[in-house]
Structure 1
Amino acid sequence: MSTLLHIDSSPLYGRSVSRELTGAFVSQWKASNPDGKVVDRDLNATQIPPINADWVGAIFTPEEAHTPEQKQLLALSDSLIAELQQTDEYVIGVPMHNFSVPSVLKLWIDQIARVGKTFSYADGTPKGLILGKKATFIIATGGIYDAQTQMASLNFVEPYLRSLFGFLGLTDATFLTAGGTMALNHGQDRDAFLAPHLQAVQTHAVATQEGQA
């Protein structure tokens, strides 16, 4: 049975472009995988504390020596990493915030980018441990930051996510971007704006299930 991890990070909910597009991906994925399982993770509905010195100390303490307090500190991280390990495919909605990823997504990344769990230095060099997975990142940006545009150098979302997940071992990643969402605040028809992006997402969702992407 195929499993999909569906992550959203936009705080806008019903007005969110990235949430609408990840929802379209999930719907198409379910149609292609009627017996599949979807694990939903809404980062805005998940209490994720910033890491602190105690948390760092816990991850560098051998598991067999963990105190009850350290086990509690790492419980959320363990749960979030298990979601990555136990699912086959990910779809992650990412609105651009200040040229980078939302703070809630960064908090999640800090919990799942964990030595000995999702990457290792066992042989003296870094090795990703999230292997055999594929991911679709659906990004929504207020402006246009496509390659070769004047604003391209300000887009730190895709380079960061590609580098981070590549470091963790996930190299089968597709990035779909809906740029120019700011137009929706200035009278652009939402359905007309979303139509090509919904089509691109649905086409990609079908292709991934057919082994074509």
Structure 2
Amino acid sequence: MAKVLHIDSSARAGGSEQHRHGSHTRRLSARFVARWRAARPGDEVLYRDVGQRPPAPVTGRWIHAACTPPGAREPWMKETLAESDALVDELLAADLIVAGVPMYNFNVPAQFKAYIDNIVRVGRTFGFDRLRVGEPYWPLLAESGKKLVILSSRGDHGYARGERLEHMNHVEPSIRTAFGYIGITDVESVAIEYDEFADERLKTSIAMAERQVDVFVDRLLREWSTREPGAPEPSLAMAR
């Protein structure tokens, strides 16, 4: 069995396949997870909606608590870190992370940044030793085999690698940096563009992104079957 962590971070509550002004990223993440579930109904899927219920932002008390050795933490410190600990535990348990993350003003939503700030934790997802020879920081999830799929959306177009607005895209690059820092480097992404134009180009972009999601899921299902000795090849027709 695989464990899937499904995260949505859009401020919009519903998907654009159901609501005229719904979220494209929720649409893509729901499609991904539904297709995965259809092929692997026994897998555990944990849903975390940071868009509607964002984690508390990091505060001075949070930093004080996180930088205090676990054995020396006072009760208030444990309480302050309780939400962060729960988010880290979810991440550690997951094999596959599917994150719907729209572009807000060229970067990730504040809700998702709060999520990142809560899971990048010294002693839990990265190590630090000022006396360590060479690099004092190191990732703790480097050998975990986790995969991250980023499903994004943009109002304009041309933010992909080599395109006209690549230098203004701080969504996928910042997520890759943060997750790579803790050791999750197997990352793929899909994005819908032209949302602000709301014309045929948007419809085409949505259709293309949905096809890419289907291809990703089918390929990942094949890859997952090789991780499980003796497991039969998954029936991809079930997901269609």
State the TM bucket, normalised to the shorter chain: over 0.9
CA deviation profile, 1:19-78 (whole Å, cap 9, x unmatched): 000000001111221100100000023242221111111111111121111110000000
Give aligned pairs, total.
210
Q: How many angstroms does 1:193 deviate by?
A: 4.3
Change (3 A) 1:173 1:19: same
User: Are 1:125 and 2:139 counterparts?
Assistant: no
Matches within 5 A, 1:7-22: 7-14=7-14, 15-22=22-29
4+ residue runs of structure 1 moved beyond 3 angstroms? 187-193
Structure ID, larger Rg? 2
Show structure 2 runs of 5+ residues with no match. Answer: 15-21, 225-240
Indicate the structure with greater helix content.
1
Given the alignment, which residue of 188, 194, 206 partners 1:194?
206
Residue pair 2:103, 2:109 contacting (<8 A) in 1 also: yes
- Secondary structure of the structure 1 residue equivalent to 2:197: helix
Residue pair 1:32, 1:206 contacting (<8 A) in 2 also: no
Amino acid at match of 2:140: L
Q: How many angstroms does 1:182 deviate by?
A: 1.8
TM-align CA RMSD = 1.7
Greater Cα shift, 124-133 or 7-16: 124-133
- Secondary structure of the structure 1 residue equivalent to 2:98: strand
Q: TM-score, with normalisation over the residues of structure 1?
A: 0.92
Matches within 5 A, 1:1-213: 1-14=1-14, 15-122=22-129, 123=132, 124-130=135-141, 131-144=144-157, 145-184=159-198, 187-188=199-200, 192-211=204-223
Greater Cα shift, 118-127 or 86-95: 118-127
Show structure 1 runs of 5+ residues with no match. Answer: none
Residue pair 2:58, 2:118 contacting (<8 A) in 1 also: yes
CA distance in 2, matches of 1:199, 1:149: 21
Q: TM-score, with normalisation over the residues of structure 2?
A: 0.83
Change (3 A) 1:189 1:98: closer
Residue pair 1:146, 1:152 contacting (<8 A) in 2 also: yes
